[in-house]
Structure 1
Amino acid sequence: MAQRLLLRRFLSFGRSVSGSAQPFPGYQSPCIQTHGLLSTTSANPVLTSARTIHLSPSCRVTFNVQNNDDFQDRVIGSKTPVIVDFHAQWCGPCKILGPRLEKMVAKQQGKVLMAKVDIDDHTDLALEYQVSAVPTVLAMKNGAVIDQFVGLKDEDQLEAFLKKLIGP
């Protein structure tokens, strides 16, 4: 009985299926979560395939850069202005700034996109854009860097940064 309760508790936690690495233990991706249902009708509990998918507005405008070609297509070739967040999994300030940026970009309702670039996976992009510290955030429009900042910013500063990129 105790094992069944422990197994139920373990399996009831949401699991991210977005395919990206978790930024820190216990983090749940805001984009896609599944919740397996535990069947207790048999002697052996079984995880059923029923799933619930939650999509948030930030998922539609935020994406992880996969490689250089992906960066060229989705950031440089974008007609929509793009915020590029250079971050690292081991960076504490990045874990604070990332969700803040996603929230602010989602508020813009598609007027701006957000690309997330892990500097450990894409060192060449970090070197190309002279990223010497993380988090570094670039504002890009028509393939050119318009503005940038390094470090944490509060929501008011982020809003002003986005307004400069989007315009009136």
Structure 2
Amino acid sequence: MMACRRVAGGFCSRLSRLSSFPISAARRASAVAHRPEAASRFLSPSRVLSRPLPLAPCRRVSFNVQDGEDFTERVINSDVPVLVDFHAQWCGPCKILGPRLEKAVAKQQGRVVMAKVDIDEHTDLAIEYGVSAVPTVIAMRAGKVLDQFVGIKDEDQLDSFVGKLVGL
């Protein structure tokens, strides 16, 4: 076993030394001329970064609340309904619910957004909205709480919950 590690370690160190040698411009041009498919490996960073970015609008379905002012601006004053996901980093059920909730919100194609509030960072918001357990999800429209639930829901229940908010 030790011999295998020693051999593998030696191979890895030799490989890293070989890959760190700079490639001359002549060798690069020769490789590109003889093998056009290798051209992409030798593109300079400036050429790669100068490509135009797509102009299609990219709308995120969720965002992290930064502070109380951000919450007021993006949740209370929002033109569209907002699902507020009160969660914590240490919460296992929160880690399961988060992606499910994002998927349900994404299905609505911009008719609803999701705000994520970490209760450890924003205890004032958690207290203000009566959050006593996580995950807690609150549905809001025009600054008013319309509905809420605590705990995990399956995808069908989440689709129904989000659909109800959009249909109101």
Cα drift, residue 40 of structure 1: 2.7
If each structure's helix is expressed as a fraction of its own residues, which one has the higher value? 2
Measure, in 2, the Cα distance between the counterparts of 1:87 and 1:58.
25
Measure, in 1, the Cα distance between the counterparts of 2:96 and 2:107.
18
Q: Which residue of the partner structure matches residue 156 of structure 1?
A: 156
Measure, in 1, the Cα distance between the counterparts of 2:90 and 2:162.
26
> Is 1:75 aligned to residue 54 of structure 2?
no
> Is 1:116 aligned to residue 126 of structure 2?
no
Cα RMSD between the aligned structures? 2.7
> Is 1:105 aligned to residue 100 of structure 2?
no
Q: Which residue of the partner structure matches residue 139 of structure 1?
A: 139
TM-score, structure 1 normalization:
0.69
Q: Deviations over 1:111-133 (max 9, x none)?
A: 00000000000000000000000
- For 2:84, give the aligned amino acid: V
TM-score, structure 2 normalization:
0.69
> Is 1:42 aligned to residue 21 of structure 2?
yes
Bigger relative contact order (CA 8 A; separation at least 6)? 2
Give matches, 1:48-63, under 5 Å: 60-63=60-63
Give matches, 1:75-94, under 5 Å: 75-94=75-94
If each structure's strand is expressed as a fraction of its own residues, which one has the higher value? 1
Which runs of 5 or more residues in structure 2 are unaligned?
1-10, 23-43
Cα 1:113–1:144 change in 2 (3 A) is: same
Measure, in 2, the Cα distance between the counterparts of 1:58 and 1:166.
21
Measure, in 1, the Cα distance between the counterparts of 2:154 and 2:87.
17
Measure, in 2, the Cα distance between the counterparts of 1:96 and 1:72.
27
C-alpha contact 1:58 1:102 (8 A) present in aligned 2? no
Larger radius of gyration: 2
User: Match of 1:130, SS?
Assistant: coil
- For 2:112, give the aligned amino acid: V
Cα drift, residue 42 of structure 1: 1.6
Cα 1:4–1:59 change in 2 (3 A) is: farther
